[in-house]
Structure 1
């Protein structure tokens, strides 16, 4: 086997449309390499004999698309590279007998050929595969257990548990804690995973064995399956980064996202089911297209879902959403700040008072951005004034604010926005805090997890290493003020001090300083 160090300076980022968006992997810091693909490789172990799995072992790297290039990485830094003469979908790396020299944690990846004649580090490799632990000893490495699609059941409707191991063809065993009579057994044939249907709540774990007389592996981490009489609520949200004050002539799209595939969705206002056009691009998602000129009310709206048409049990309602629009036919309100809007002290509270010519209105506070004016707060006071409160302010709250109001009864006329009011808060954005989610040293090939605690949502969070400018990992904190960051495949080159920082997502712009440092010490270094 030809081993060598990965050329330093490669960081991979990938983005997913989730609340917390993991991106990236690094074998060594320096230059950023962006890969816009979700086509990771799959890695598994093929023993020559399941009776003696460590006597002669092969690792197979499976590609989603034909390729000529594969890499096998051991313990986060040692490489075996191959360049083939023809395109293939997989490559077999021969390890042979497992000894101290080839024992460790492995991942693989394969080369991409982008639609350009120039193949660069920017686009040449996929993300890394799943990890495969090669120990050469008994008991066998533990598998991992996950719930698909959700870790809960309802009466008459179960869920799936997926048990995955590194080796193909093994026999999987599923157990339920506290129930000695519960044991499900299945052989994976030519796969490295097995599915189990479960209909009872409790704590489950799985293990596997290579043959009938073999010693079972270490059990997986426990997976708790809960039982709900009523399915948990879906999430109702705007199809966009921010809610906004719309013009009455425009449309709005609401998305109802269920935690698992649903047979039917409902959009509701109170107890009334709304007959609003929609489409389901996925079985767990329903999009509703609202024509604001045809709505009888602004909300609040909720949605719910039905898991099966033969089970007349609707889910709990989502958190409500209220709309706000304006035709700008009513006089503009007046917006003032207490204390003065200039040179505000960080950590203080500012009160923004929006005054209208009459009572019984709905008020919205907006902030001017680069491309849109998001609706930050909405109030329905009994009088003619709405007082919006901004607590623990910092320079990230600096900007131009305005307010708008609308009537709460038909024809739902609305005002023009107030004149812009500029807030200016002293000082830089507050620094985040970085927390290490492990203790002691990090084993070679394993992951080092961090949590970066910020101060506001809707920011990009980055993990940076002392002495390097390029982030090692990025994540988005959308609805919370913290996000997890990690070094996903730790090698000797990762020893050092790490910090985190955050930058604003559009339409606002700011960048924090770096957090306190956290030291990463890699096993054996």
Structure 2
């Protein structure tokens, strides 16, 4: 009977306390957002919820939405709720709770809420200003004014490093004023503002560019400028990431689009300098950085910030621009040079970089899809390697990758231009071998072979000659080459370029042309001869070659499928072996194989026959001149003798 009463009593007690045991029993979880609770449209974000036990099922409710996300974690304590492509509808207030997998009646308390704010790049960025500006004396009143272009919005004031919710205010007109009375050291920092449409309270504009509220600290001198910074680029996998760092004096703060925050700890806190490494750079690391310092005993007595340095992150998804020089090749001192940078996107700003130049790059707004940087009156100091990049106006610290470099080489008057030749000189077939020879007049020089105005190869010869071999000639090797040389210690000053030489590649797939003489047979001196070249293709140019002639071959555009080369008044010097070839107009340095040769045989003049070839005419003219001079000498002698006779 007693046992039955005991069971009845326990049953009643359990029933009376079922609300506590089946309700909130576990500690509330911790919830956080990675990488940031403010994320742009199309970006990715992950909400993480951490419990206190294993074997839990996590529930992620969103305020105003009836269907929460659920995730079971049997072997861990953390659940991840990723949002791979954030939309405006993903903004809102989230909480997290969990319960035991084995007992769904045992729940945790609800976590603190966390908000996801969706940044919409189509909303114009607001502006922010401080009054008064500059370093603020303790006790002064400061007003931060935020101004935008949209109506019916709410403005938010952010302070970097402040974990409290940002202050907000409905605007008066198109702006809002946030007053900070009686400023103290605790108010110093970097401020920015943003706004959210009232109809979409979790959609935000991009934050304004930051402003620094610096509260003067007595006895703290202005810090040195950053000793160095690195231009950081995109890392593996196409995501903007890289390794690098900054060396500042004491204390580094990031003046980013929305906040100012301490980005690292000094590696040498006992010295006068500090290094703040950024092991893996991401897009959010871009921005303008400055440094300041404070006494460890008085953390709010902050010096004024140093001059800023910019961290620009390269985005590999932005197409690489192109760059060109005008004029190309080696430039004469005093000439004007224009460097043109061209890209595909609009609404960008172009930047011109010179290798080794520590000054900020020149920048220019484009005219259309490109920008032109003019260098008037070029001197030796302008020589060097140049490249360009561009940055979207909406993201001033995000850059394209730089263009491939171009060399601005300034001619050195004391360096005579070199000579250039091909070996073999009569062209080369596809797959064959050829060498470009370049000869200068100074020892210890570096020779540069240029093709179509761009650097092709570089050689450091032991003597005066440099050889540039091309072992397996392809169609890409065809073209016009020249060479120059410069001191091995630097390439800013060089010789003027050599005269150009053309590398013509013979393509055996092009049908061989035919050649004929008219009249045929032995040709009498003084006759007119026509050499006809005929092929099977249209839109080509024919070339007439004479064996042993070092002059460039004559060329002619055909009438139909052939071309006629006329040789008027044939003389002995015209005799020889002739052949012809053709080149497609679309590929002016690709040639057919030459035709089979024909022989132009000029008959010898018979005895007493007047040969009025060019050589004989020259001989007759010389003889007549000699006779005239002798006649003048005899006449002068006779005249002098007649004057001596009494």
Q: Please give the range of the TM-score, normalised by the shorter of the 2 chains.
A: 0.3 to 0.5
Normalized per residue, which structure has more strand?
Answer: 1
> What TM-score do the two structures reach when normalised by structure 2?
0.28
> What TM-score do the two structures reach when normalised by structure 1?
0.33
User: For the pair shown, which has the larger CA radius of gyration, 1 or 2?
Assistant: 2
